[in-house]
Amino acid sequence: SASWRSSTAVAMPVRNNLKSPCCNAAATAASAQGVENMEVQPGAREEKEPNVGDLDIVKSPNDPKQYRYIKLDNGLRVLLISDVDLDDDKQSDAASDDEGSDGNQEEDEDSGEGTDEDDEEEMEENMDCDEFEEFDEGVPSDKKKGCSEKQEGCKLEFCVREEFGDSEFWKRYALFLYLGRAHSGKQKMCRSSKMENTASVSKRLVFIIVGEEDRMLVHRIIVVQLSNKQNIKESLLCALCPSAAALCVGVGSFSDSDDLPGLAHFLEHMVFMGSEKYPDENGFDAFLKKHGGSDNASTDCERTVFQFDVQRKYFKEALDRWAQFFIGPLMIRDAIDREVEAVDSEYQLAKPSDSNRKEMLFGSLAKPGHPMGHFFWGNAQTLKHDPSVKNIDTYARLREFWKRYYSAHYMTLAVQSRAENLDTLETWVKEIFTSMPNNGLPKPDFAHLPEPFDTPAFNKLYRAVPVTKLHSLDISWALPPQKQHYRAKPLHYLTWLVGHEGKGSILSLLRKKFWALALYGGNNETGFDHNSTYSVFNISITLTDDGYEHFYEVAHIVFQYVKMLQKIGPQQRIFEEIQKIEDNEFHYQEQTDPIENVEDICENMQLFKKADILTGDQLLFEYKPEIIAAALNLLKPDRANLLLLSPNNGGKCGLKEKWFGTQYSVEEIEKAWSKKWARDFDLNPELHLPVENQFIATDFALKAADRPNTQYPVKVLNSTQGCLWYKKDTKFKIPKAYIRFHLVSPLIQQSPENLVLFDILVVILAHNLAEPAYAADVAQLEYKLVAGEYGLVIRIKGFNHKLPLLFQLIIDYLADFAATPEVFGMITEQLKKTYFNLLIKPDKLSKDVRLLILEHARWSLMQKYLALMNGPSIESLLSFVKNFKSQLFVEGLAQGNFTSNESISLLNYVMERLQFRPLEKEFPVQFRVVELPNKPYLCKVKSLNKGDANSEVSVYYQSGAKTLKEHALMELLVMHMEEPCFDFLRTKETLGYHVYPMLRNTSGILGFSVTVETQATKFNTEIVDKKIEEFLSCFEKKIENLSDEAFKTQVTALIKLKECEDTHLGEEVDRNWGEVLTQQYLFDRLDHEIDALKSFCKANLVEWFKAHQGLNSKKLSVHVVGYGEHEPDTRSDPNSPETQNTYEEVSRLTFLLPSPLIAEATPINDIRAFTSTLKLFPYHKIIK
C-alpha cells in the first residue's frame, strides 16, 4: 500500500495528520526560501475591492471559499478563509442576532460531551498506541444516538485501525489489514485536550475516536435536517457552522537541548495552562466546551501545531483567549509538576507501541549530535528527576524556550469562518495578533546537518523483539531532503509503484509465495520521515511465518523490483495516470470540517509558495524525469538498512534501546547476499509495471433524478430477501456516490467457532480481492469489507462512473469464494496474532470484560481466541461459507449521484449472484442486556501484557431501557461532566493522561461511565476508583449550584452542535447508514433530540444524576491491573528483563480480589456464573 494513501501514524490522540493522500513526499517539501516567495509587505496588502480574496491562490473549482493572505507587522503570516457568500452577509448577521446567550458571558460551570458505546471502540485507538493512526472517509462525524454498542466494527474493525489506521489496506479490507502491521511513521506528541479525551462532539475531534461505520453514532450531533426550503437553510447556515483557527510554529523537537529531552513537547502542553490576560488554568477549554468547541495541539520535529473550533458567535472571543497563549502564557511553576505527570503518562501509553519503538531505534542510528537522536517525547525522568539532580531549572528553561522559539515571524496562522467576511477577519486578526512578540532572531535551520545516517551504524541488519505477535521487515533508505521537489513529487511517484498491489507488483509476488500479507511503501508526512536534513524512503512488509524464515529472499525481490524501475527509468505514462487521478480528486473534492482545513493549511503555509498553499500537498504539477531518477537511483541495496521485527528474535537480542526498552541486535548483512546485491543481479520476469488503469472515471455528469427527491432515504426495493434504501444527492452535487450493504446471517453468533470462521471468511475474501480490485482502489474507488457482529458489511465510495463495477467484482468473489489450504493456513496463523495483539491491550481487555458481563449470549474475544487455538479446518470453513451464503437478509443504502434504478440493480445483482434463501424469521441485530442489581460490583483482572505498567479503571453506571428524550438528557449530563472530570482527575489528581466520561448505549440500554488510564508505577486501581467516586460526589454539588443561565448556555451549545450542517456527502451517508445498519430507521433523529433538549430545565438534570448515584445505583467497575510497585498482585522486579507473552498466557483471565479499601464492592470472579443469575432487559431500540 502506498504511503501517499495513508495518514500519519499517531500513538496519541492527534489531529493534524489528515493531509491529502497524494503527497507524503511533498508534505515537508517547501524550503524556507520557497516559503519566502509568498512574502507580502508587513501590515499591508494590495488594494482590492472589499471582501475580495487573492485570486493567485489556486483552489479547487468545487471550493466556494474565499482566501486572503496577509502578513502582520510582527511577521506573522496569515491566511484568512471566509465561507460567506457576499450576497448572504445580511442573512448571516440576522442569524447571528438570533443566537443564544451573549458571547462575552462567562460562567464557572463547564461540561463534557459523552458518546455512545461505539465511540469507545475507536477511542481506544487514540489511547494506546500500537500503530495508531487517524482514520479516513473524509471528515468525521459526530454523535449519533440510539445505536448498539457494537455494530459492524465491533469485532475487528476497531482493531484493524489500530494497526493500520488510514492506510489504503484499511480502507479496503479492515479485517485483513489488521493481520499484520504494514506501516510506520513518526508519532506526533500532543497535548490531548479534555474534549478529545472524552470524545467531544467536535466533528474533527470525534473523527479521531469513532470508526467510520461507528460514526453513525456521532454524526447527528453535527447535522440538522433543515427544511427543504433553500432560503431557510441559507439563513441559518452561517450561524450553525463552527469557526476555526490553527497556528503552526516553525519549531519542534529538533530544537530540544541535549540536557532537557522533550522540552518542545512539554512547552506545547504548558502554554495552554492559562495566560496573563486569562489566568484560569482551564479557562480556555471550559470556554470552548460551553460553546460547542474543541482544541488540541501536537509537536513534530520542526513544527508545532495548535488548533481549535467554536460556535461562530464566540469566535472572536475564543481567538483572543487562544492568542494569549502565544502572547503571554502564564506557565506558573505550580503547574509544572502536574503537567509533567501528564507528559509522562502519555509516554507510558506510547511505550507498548511497536511503531514508536521502531522509530526510536531508527533515530538512535543517526550521527552523534544530530537532533534525530533526541528523545522527543519527554517523561518524568528527563523533565523532572534528572533536572533536579543536575540543578536545572525546568521552569526557567521553558520560558527561555518560549521566548527564543515562539516568535511571530516563525508562525503561520489560518483563520476560517462562515459568518465573517474577509475584511472582518482581517480586522480581528490585526487587532488580536499584532501584539504577538517577534524576537528578531533567525529561525532554527538544520540544513547544515545533512546525511544523518551516513554512519557505520546504518546499512546493517537489525533484529528486534516486538511487543505484539508480528513478523515484519523494514527496508529503509536515507535520502537527501526532497523539500524543493514538491511540484514534481519524486517520492510520490516511487511510492505509487512500490506500494502497488496489482499484477507484477512486489506484494503480488510475495503473496503468491505466501511470504507476505501486506506492504507499505513510501514516505510519511511527518517530520520523522521528511525534514530539512533528510527524507526516508521505507518499505515495510508484514511477513508470514514462512516469510520470516525467508526474509533475505523477500528483500531480494524488493531490490529486484527497484532495479527494474531503475533500468526502465521514469515513465511519463505512469506519472500522468497518477496526475490524472489526483486532478480528478482535487477538482471534485468535498469540503472538509473547518478545524481540519485550517490545521492542514497552517502547516502548508510553512511548506509551500503562496499560490500552492491549497494544492502543494495534493497535485503533481510537472513531470521531471531527471528528479525522479535522481531519487530512484539512490535506492541501492548497499545503502539500505534492514530491520527484522519478530517474537522469534527473543533471546537473541542483547542490546536495549534507551527510552522504549526495545531489545535488539545488530549484525552485518550475510556475505552471500551482500555479494549478490553488489553484482549485476538478474531481474525477476514476474515483476513489471502496472498496466493502464481501467477504473479511472471519465464521466462526471450529474444524473437526472428518476423519482421525486426526498429529504431522507426511502425504501425503493423490499422483499423477503432484503431491501434497499435510496437517496439522490441534491445538496453537494458532485459525481460521487456511496454504496453500503449489510449481509445479515444468524449463523455468525451461534458459537465462537462460527465467529472465528466468519473472520477467516472476510479476511480470505479480502485477500482474494486485493489484486483484482487494487486498480479501482487507486482510482479513488475505495472499498472496505468488515466482519460485523451480525453480518458482512460492504462499504464502497468514490466517483460513481465505475463504482457499480467494483461492487459487482466484490459480489462475484463472494459468490465464487475459494480458499486453498496454503492461504487458509497463512490467514489462520495471522488471525491468531491479531487476537493476541488485542488481548494484551488494557483498554481492549477492559471493554471485552465489560461487554461480556453486560451482553447476554455474547462471545468474548478471549473465547474466539480459544476457538482459534483449537484449530479450525479448511473443511469447516468451506462448510460455513456455503451455509452463510445460502440464507441471508441483505439490506443496503445507495446515496449520491445514482438514479433509483441504478441503485435497485445493485441489490438485484446480489440476489442473482448469491441465490440465497430468505431468513426463516426476523433476526434482531443486537444483544439482550443483563439488568445489574442495585449495588456496586467489581471485576478486577490482571493485564495480559507482562511488564506493561498501564492500567485501566472504568466505572459504569447502568440506567436502563430509556426513551429518546432520556437519551438526550443523559447526553447533556455527560457533556456537563466532561470538563470537571478532566480538571479533577487529570489536572488536579494527575491520575493519568486519559480520563473521560462517556455516554454508553449498549445494545439500546443506556448508562454512563468514567474511565481513567493510569500506571501501576504511580497508582493503585482501587485508589483511582475511589477518586472517581470522589469526583462524582463533587460533580453532584457542582450541578446543584449550576445557574439557570449556565444550564441554558450548555443546552444551547449542544443544540448548535446538532444543528451544524454536514460538510460533505459522507457525513450524511454515515448518519443514514447508521439508522439502516441498526434497523432503527429514525432518519430525523436529530430533530427529535433537539426538541427534547429544548424541553429540559436544570432540575431534570440534577434529579436524573441523583437517581443514578448512591448506594442504590447499578454500578460496575472493571479494573485491568498493570504491572508496577503500586499493585501488590502484579509487582515485579523492575530490573528483570522483558519477557515475551506466550499464546497460552493470554488465553485465560486472572481475577484479583479487592482489598479492604473497596470492600463495599461485590467481586466478580466468574463472569458466566454471575450473569446467569441476572434478569434480562427486552430487546430495545431508542426510537421513541
Nearest CA to 161 out of 113, 203, 191, 128 is that of 128
Contact 290, 1053 (CB under 8 A): yes
Measured distance CA(623)–CA(604) in Å, rounded: 22
Cell of 319: 481567538
Q: Round to whole Å and give the CA distance between 305 and 186.
A: 15
Considering only CA atoms, give the Rg of the chain: 28
Would the CA dihedral through 1131, 1133, 1134, 1137 be positive or negative?
negative
Angle formed by the axes of helices 283-290 and 315-327, to 10°? 160
* Whole-angstrom distance, CA of residue 1018 vs CA of residue 1127: 9
* 17-53 burial code (b ≥16 CB/10 A, e <16): bbbbbbbbbbbbbbbeebbeebebeeeeeeeeeebeb
Angle at 202 between CA 197 and CA 204, to 5 degrees: 90
Told to judge if 525 belongs to the known catalytic residues of this protein, a careful annotator would answer no
Region of 889 please: left (phi>0), alpha (psi -120 to 50) or beta.
Answer: beta
Residue written as grid cell 453500503: 740
- Take residue 170 and report the three cell numbers written for it: 484499511
**Please, which residues have CB within 8 angstroms of residue 356's CB and are 6 or more apart in sequence?**
11, 129, 187, 350, 660
Q: End-to-end distance of the chain based on CA atoms, in angstroms?
A: 45
Catalytic pick among 137, 268, 971, 989: 268
Tell me the pairing of strands 461-464 and 471-479: unpaired
CA distance 465 to 472: 11
DSSP letter, residue 133: B
Q: Assess contact for 1080 and 146: CB atoms under 8 A.
A: yes
* DSSP state at residue 740: E
Q: How many CB atoms neighbour CB 134 within 10 A? A: 25
The torsion angles phi and psi of 168, rounded to 5 degrees, stand at -65, -30
Name the phi and psi angles at 149, rounded to 5. Answer: -60, -45
Report the distance separating Cα 275 and Cα 166, nearest Å: 36
Sheet strands side by side (includes 722-728) = 714-718, 722-728, 889-896, 736-744, 791-799, 782-787
Let me know if 705 is exposed, middle or buried by CB neighbors in 10 A (0-12, 13-18, 19+): exposed
* Catalytic (active-site) positions: 268
